[in-house]
């Protein structure tokens, strides 16, 4: 399998859903909502939410990006090389049923290696979305960009923090649990990390999309026991029951 992750997310984010969990019966997010629903009116609130992705000792010195009608823009210039932002649902694969969910808020803090080699993908996806690209167009543009090698492979050590207690990864995942994400080339398979094995703490979603396409990077996720504010997080669900995760979709 190959990963279907694009953020990060969500996005995009590593949820293990129990096999007997109820399945969605409809597709409530068939198209993009008005842009206003994805924006956060209070810029200071978005800055605080972005910083909540990682412990304050790290995020207080990070650069912070906020989403505008023109795309992500720098709201705070940092000094430690990290970048914090709030991902939206479109950082998930186009096959994800909540790709257009305007409620998704996924605070993420990327380290310098991820800023250089993963953030450009996130910014390009956002550019396409705000320009009105359809799901099919996003798939085609991603495929073309991969074939032309327009973006770098993940640098060694590229990772990010997703430890915000305020994160909302999807209707079916809500706040889930804090975790770290590690970005690797798609040639690195789940088996190389022991991902999704029984009792293994490492998770990886499907390595191939339902239509046979793939995303540019494999994202391995490792849950942690505390939120960024140092409060305890819920007990982790183990990969033995994995059917999907919030960063990679179904």
78: tokens are: 């940092």
Neighbours of 130 (CB within 10 A): 18
pLDDT, position 27 = 74
Specify whether the CB–CB gap between 199 and 238 falls below 8 A: yes
The phi-psi region of residue 132 (left if phi > 0; otherwise alpha if psi is between -120 and 50; otherwise beta) is: left
What count of residues does the chain have?
250
Does the reported pTM lie above 0.75?
yes
Q: CB of 84 within 8 A of CB of 53?
A: yes
What three-state secondary structure class fits 117? helix
Helical spans, DSSP H, in the chain: 43-51, 56-59, 112-117, 119-130, 135-147, 190-193
E strands, the chain, in order: 8-11, 63-68, 71-76, 83-87, 106-110, 159-162, 179-185, 217-223
Question: How does pLDDT run along the chain (250 residues), one tens digit per residue?
Answer: 333 333 333 433 333 333 334 454 567 888 999 999 999 999 999 999 999 999 999 999 999 999 999 999 999 999 999 999 999 999 987 878 899 999 999 999 999 999 999 999 999 999 999 999 999 999 899 889 888 888 888 999 999 999 999 999 988 888 889 999 999 988 888 889 999 998 899 998 777 766 766 667 889 999 999 999 999 998 755 444 444 444 544 3
Structural domain contains residue 212? yes
Number of domains comprising the chain: 1
Q: Which residues form the domain of 197? A: 8-241
Specify if 160 maps to a domain.
yes
Whether 30 is covered by a domain: the verdict is yes
pLDDT of residue 209: 67
> In the prediction, which pLDDT does 47 show?
98
Strand order of the sheet with strand 159-162?
Answer: 71-76, 63-68, 83-87, 106-110, 159-162, 179-185, 217-223
By the 10 Å C-beta count (0-12 exposed, 13-18 middle, 19+ buried), 211 is classed as exposed
Residue 148 lies in a domain: yes
Non-local (6+) Cβ contacts of 128 within 8 A are: 137, 138, 141
Question: From CA 242, how far away is CA 110, in angstroms rounded?
Answer: 25
Q: 90 and 81 in contact (C-beta within 8 Å)?
A: no
The answer to the question of residue 1 being in a domain is: no
Q: What is the pLDDT of residue 237?
A: 55
């Amino acid at each position: 399998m190959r990963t279907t992750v694009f953020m990060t997310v969500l996005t995009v984010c590593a949820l293990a859903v129990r096999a007997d969990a109820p399945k969605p019966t409809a597709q409530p997010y068939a198209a993009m909502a008005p842009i206003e629903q994805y924006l956060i009116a209070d810029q200071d609130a978005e800055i605080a939410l972005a910083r909540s992705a990682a412990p304050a000792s790290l995020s207080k010195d990070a650069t912070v990006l906020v989403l505008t009608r023109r795309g992500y823009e720098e709201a705070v210039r940092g000094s430690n090389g990290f970048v914090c932002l709030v991902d939206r649902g479109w950082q998930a694969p186009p096959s994800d049923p909540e790709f257009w969910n305007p409620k998704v808020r996924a605070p993420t803090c990327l380290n310098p290696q991820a800023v250089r080699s993963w953030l450009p993908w996130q910014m390009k996806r956002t550019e396409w979305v705000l320009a009105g690209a359809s799901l099919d167009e996003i798939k085609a543009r991603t495929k073309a960009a991969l074939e032309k090698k327009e973006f770098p492979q993940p640098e060694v050590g590229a990772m990010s923090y997703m430890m915000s207690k305020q994160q909302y990864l999807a209707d079916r995942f809500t706040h889930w649990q804090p975790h770290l994400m590690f970005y690797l080339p798609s040639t690195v398979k789940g088996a190389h990390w022991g991902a999704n094995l029984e009792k293994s703490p490492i998770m990886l979603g499907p390595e191939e999309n339902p239509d046979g396409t793939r995303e540019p990077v494999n994202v391995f996720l490792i849950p942690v026991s505390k939120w960024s504010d140092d409060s305890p997080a819920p007990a982790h669900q183990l990969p033995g029951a994995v059917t999907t995760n919030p960063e990679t979709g179904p």
